[in-house]
């Protein structure tokens, strides 16, 4: 199904025109010069649109319905993938997928939020919003990775933790908190990639890593722009303004200098235009960072992770007289 | 347009003479709606004498109630927040900090220090809900982390009294990271075998609950405190259902296995002393 954002429309129309011209072309009718012209125009337009995106537009891209999700990345990056299910306490959470695979032959654990494409799957995946059992399953898999000495790769793409009665009853705060503490002490490398929406505690619960990478059009924030607007102005429709204030894009966060390690460039026009290219960009980054981390001992890994998060502070120390 | 016109002017209400009352002499209990002489509430440790509702108290007051007189030594006082994002909603974050500073006289939403509880040395961090809703930004996260690190250094048990609306939005991603930072410090404390006691007071929600506040070796709650991750209003709007009676209150969390005990304010110090004495293997008194 074709889906596009408002600001993508002129581009989508142009691409449609090019496709049509191609379809009409036969041996006797030659549109190749027109096609070339239009393609040039499309490239220019694309560059223009994507070099001037507002923070809200980037948020929309991060949430794009056609954006590759965790299982798409897994398919294009890893081999021998097998999924595991359940937290051994309550149930399985389809909003967070966990399993094991190989990266270039190297065995590893893979964890990520999973959203759905169509309505039925969206509901099944709870729109990528985990319940406590999701975080607990993730922790179980991370501890298994530690047991077998395997690196952990996580993929973050969630609007946030699920605000439901059951989630509170079963202690989602405790589940998130425990992951933060246990991930800090894990003896194997953890590499986090924010692929789409990095929403609040639901994202952070699988995002305490030795490396934190962000895709070019992903966002990462303490609260969704809509949620922020609802609190600040009692008006959830003022998300675009809140997005500006929250400075939630990969570029913004990179400028803080202490939160992320790298921005992974996406294919022109966003990852949804080319899953394979997007995945190969991610794969290259994962390989590079894993190679660096494999040089470290378990204690060094824990220390490096601790110091990384320890440094995430901007404060004014009292003036000494 | 109205179908019937009002032919008569409405009956005028009789002007009643208002009794002039000095502000703050009487307090209406938020829980039982009873009007109570403020001094009486204060004498009762800010607990409603009628219904046992625990009013919020300031961090300084809390420290006076828990820590042995004359033993409290504050650490990291005077660290203040920075508006590094130039965050602006209806007001600049910078101005909000300044206003809160002027009002409270303390550096931010938490006060930390070392002291003694019935002779036992502890490190304590106490939230001040009065300072921007006890929200956690860089300063709060850093001070909690330093308190934990001090406990680690001195091998003293660490106590945190939480009262917070959660992460401070004005510091966006960095406020989220404070959850990871403080929880990482707790991993070290746990490994070193030092007790961490989390006391949850009204209200403890959001990012504070989803980090150190839920990670106590013991989680202790004051009666009827609101404790949760997502706020009740957000949940109601999401699921479009009425929430069950007593949802996200201390008693509900005790029933669901998230807190170990509920301790009223007037028994808190004795209970903490008993717990810490056992955990640190002190001889019985």
Residue B74 contacts residue B111 (beta carbons within 8 Å): yes
Mean pLDDT of B19-30: 78
Query: Average pLDDT over chain A, rounded to whole?
Result: 94
The reported pLDDT for the residue numbered B237 is 81
Q: Is the predicted pLDDT of residue B209 greater than 80, yes or no?
A: yes
Record: contact A177-B181, CB cut-off 8 A: no
Check pLDDT > 90 for residue A300: yes
What is the percent of chain A where pLDDT is above 70? 99
Which secondary-structure segment (H or E) carries A99? strand A96-103
Copy the structure tokens of residue B220.
């202790």
Complex ipTM: 0.93
Q: Which residue has the tokens 């990271």?
A: B177
How does the average pLDDT of chain B come out, rounded?
Answer: 92
CB atoms within 10 A of CB A63: 20
Cα A9 to Cα A37: distance, rounded to the nearest angstrom = 19
Q: Which two tokens stand for residue B139?
A: 């300063």
User: DSSP letters along B203-233, please?
Assistant: EE-HHHHTTGGG--SEEEE-TT-BB-SS-HH
If DSSP codes are grouped into helix, strand and coil, which group holds residue B161? strand
The confidence band for B14, taking pLDDT boundaries of 50, 70 and 90, is low
Q: Which residue, among A305, A59, A295, has the nearest Cα to A192 in the 3D structure?
A: A305
The whole-number average pLDDT for the span A298-303 is: 98
pLDDT at B278: 97
Q: Which of A165, A201, A256 lies nearest to residue B179, judging by beta carbons?
A: A201
Token output for A287: 């390989």
CB contact under 8 A, B238 and A164: yes
Option in B138, B176, B228 nearest A204 (CB): B176
Percent of chain B with pLDDT over 70: 95
* Helix/strand/coil for B75: strand
Give per-residue pLDDT as tens, A209-246. 999 999 999 999 999 999 888 888 888 889 999 999 99
For residue B206, give the nearest of B181, B175, B185 by alpha carbon.
B175
Interface residue B46 vs chain A (CB under 8 A)? no
How far is residue B259's CA from residue B200's CA, in Å, rounded to a whole number? 9
Q: Does A200 touch chain B (CB under 8 A)?
A: yes
Average pLDDT score over residue span B59-84: 95
Pairing of strands B196-204, B218-221: parallel
Query: What DSSP character marks residue A67?
Result: S
Beta bridge partners of B162: B200
Nearest CB partner across the interface for A208, out of B79, B180, B241: B180
Contact present, B228 and A201 (Cβ < 8 Å): no
What is the residue whose two structure tokens read 């191609």?
A: A22
* Residue contacts between A and B (CB atoms, under 8 Å): 182
Taking CB atoms and an 8 Å cutoff, what residues of chain A touch B228?
Answer: 168, 173
pLDDT reading at A148 higher than 60: yes
**Whole-number pLDDT of residue A56:** 95
Partner B contacted by A308 (CB < 8 A):
no
Q: Is residue A189 within 8 Å of A151, Cβ to Cβ?
A: yes
DSSP letter (8 states) at residue A98: E
Element (H, E) at B77: none
pLDDT in tens, B27-64: 888 888 889 898 988 899 999 988 889 999 999 999 99
- 3-state SS of A125-181? CHHHCCCHHHHHHHHHHHHHHHHHCCCEEEEEEECCCCCCHHHHHCCHHHHHHHHHH
Nearest CB to A228; choose among B169, B181, B229: B169
What's the half-sphere exposure (Cβ side, CA atoms, 13 Å) at B187?
A: 25
Confidence of residue B19 (pLDDT cuts 50, 70, 90): low
pLDDT tens digits, A239-289 = 999 999 999 999 999 999 999 999 999 998 899 999 999 999 999 999 999
Nearest Cα of chain A lies from the Cα of B140 at a distance, in angstroms, of 10
pLDDT confidence band for A29 (50 / 70 / 90): confident
pLDDT in tens, B102-151: 988 888 999 999 999 999 999 999 999 999 999 999 999 999 999 999 99
What pLDDT digit, counting tens, does each position of B150-181 carry? 999 999 999 999 999 999 999 999 999 999 99
pLDDT band at A319 (very low <50, low <70, confident <90, very high): confident
Interchain proximity A185–B187, CB inside 8 Å: yes
> Across the interface, which of B78, B174, B183 has its CB nearest the CB of A184?
B183
Q: Quick one: average pLDDT of A98-117?
A: 97
By three-state DSSP, how is residue A295 classified? coil
pLDDT band at B244 (very low <50, low <70, confident <90, very high): confident
Percent of chain B with pLDDT over 90: 73
What pLDDT score was predicted for residue B18?
A: 65
pLDDT digits (tens, 9 = 90+) for A152-167: 999 999 999 999 999 9
Q: CA-CA distance, A194 to A214, in Å (whole number)? A: 5
- Tens of pLDDT, residues A133-144: 999 999 999 999
User: Is there a contact between B212 and A177 if contact means CB atoms under 8 Å apart?
Assistant: yes
Tell me the torsion sign for CA atoms A52, A54, A59, A60.
negative
Would you call B210 and A316 a contact, using CB atoms and an 8 Å cutoff?
Answer: no
Residues B187, A98, B253, B116: what is their CA dihedral angle, to the nearest 10 degrees?
0
Mean pLDDT across B178-198: 98
CA distances B216 to A201, B190, B247, Å, are 19, 10, 22
pLDDT at site A318: 86
Is B156:A230 a contact under the CB 8 Å cutoff? no
**Beta strands, E only, B88-192:** 110-117, 120-127, 158-164
- Whether A231 contacts chain B with CB within 8 A: yes
Lowest mean pLDDT segment, chosen from A23-32, A74-83, A159-168, B7-16: B7-16
Q: Does B107 touch chain A (CB under 8 A)?
A: yes
The SS3 of residue A206 is coil
Range from A19-33, A104-118, A179-193 carrying the lowest mean pLDDT: A19-33
Q: Is the pLDDT of residue A65 over 90?
A: yes
């Amino acid at each position: 199904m074709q889906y596009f954002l408002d600001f993508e429309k002129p581009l989508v129309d142009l691409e449609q025109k090019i496709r049509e011209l191609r379809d009409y072309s036969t041996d006797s009718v030659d549109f190749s010069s027109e096609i070339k012209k239009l393609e040039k125009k499309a490239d220019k337009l694309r560059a223009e649109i994507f070099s001037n995106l507002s923070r809200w537009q980037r948020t929309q891209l991060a949430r794009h319905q056609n954006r590759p999700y965790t299982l798409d990345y897994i398919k294009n990056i890893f081999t021998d993938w097998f999924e595991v299910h359940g937290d051994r306490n309550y149930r399985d959470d389809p909003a967070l997928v966990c399993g094991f695979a190989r990266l270039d032959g190297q065995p590893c654990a893979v964890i990520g939020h999973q959203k759905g494409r169509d309505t039925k799957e969206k509901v099944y995946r709870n729109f990528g919003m985990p319940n406590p059992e999701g975080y607990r399953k993730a922790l179980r898999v991370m501890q298994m990775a530690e047991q077998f000495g395997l690196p952990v790769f996580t993929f973050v793409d969630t609007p946030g933790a699920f605000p439901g009665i059951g989630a509170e009853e079963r202690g989602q705060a405790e589940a998130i908190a425990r992951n933060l503490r246990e991930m800090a002490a894990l003896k194997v490398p953890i590499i986090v990639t924010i692929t789409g929406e990095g929403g609040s505690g639901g994202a952070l619960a699988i995002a305490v890593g030795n490396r934190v990478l962000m895709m070019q059009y992903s966002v990462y924030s303490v609260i969704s722009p809509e949620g922020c607007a609802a609190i600040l102005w009692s008006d959830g429709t003022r998300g675009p303004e809140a997005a500006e204030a929250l400075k939630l894009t990969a570029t913004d966060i990179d400028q803080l200098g202490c939160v992320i390690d790298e921005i992974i460039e996406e294919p022109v026009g966003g990852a949804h235009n080319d899953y394979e290219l997007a995945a190969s960009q991610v794969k290259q980054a994962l390989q590079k960072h894993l190679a660096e981390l494999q040089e470290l001992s378990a204690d060094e890994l824990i220390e490096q992770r601790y110091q990384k998060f320890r440094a995430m502070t901007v404060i004014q120390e009292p003036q000494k007289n | 347009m109205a179908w019937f016109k009002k032919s008569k002017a409405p009956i005028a209400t009789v002007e009643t003479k208002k009794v002039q009352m000095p502000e703050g002499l009487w307090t209406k209990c938020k829980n039982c709606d009873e009007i109570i002489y403020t001094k009486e509430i204060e004498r009762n440790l800010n607990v409603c004498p009628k219904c046992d509702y625990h009013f919020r108290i300031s961090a300084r007051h809390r420290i006076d109630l828990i820590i042995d007189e004359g033993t409290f030594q504050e650490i990291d006082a005077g660290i203040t927040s920075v508006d590094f994002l130039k965050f602006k909603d209806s007001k600049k974050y910078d101005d909000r900090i300044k206003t809160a500073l002027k009002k409270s006289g303390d550096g931010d939403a938490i006060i930390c220090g070392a002291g003694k509880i019935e002779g036992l040395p502890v490190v304590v961090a106490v939230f001040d809900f009065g300072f921007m809703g006890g929200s956690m930004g860089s300063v709060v996260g850093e001070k909690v982390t330093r308190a934990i690190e001090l406990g680690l250094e001195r091998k003293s048990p660490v106590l945190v009294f939480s009262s917070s609306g959660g992460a401070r939005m004005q510091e966006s991603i960095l406020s989220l990271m404070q959850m990871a930072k403080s929880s990482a410090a707790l991993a070290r404390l746990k490994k070193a075998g030092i007790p961490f006691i989390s006391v949850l007071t009204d209200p403890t929600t959001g990012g504070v609950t989803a980090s150190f506040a839920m990670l106590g070796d013991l989680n202790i709650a004051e009666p009827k405190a609101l404790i949760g991750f997502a706020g009740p209003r957000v949940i109601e709007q999401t699921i479009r259902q009425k929430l069950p009676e007593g949802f996200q209150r201390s008693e509900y969390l005790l029933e669901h296995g998230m807190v170990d005990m509920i301790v009223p304010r007037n028994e808190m110090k004795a209970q903490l002393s008993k717990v810490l004495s056992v955990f640190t293997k002190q001889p019985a008194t």
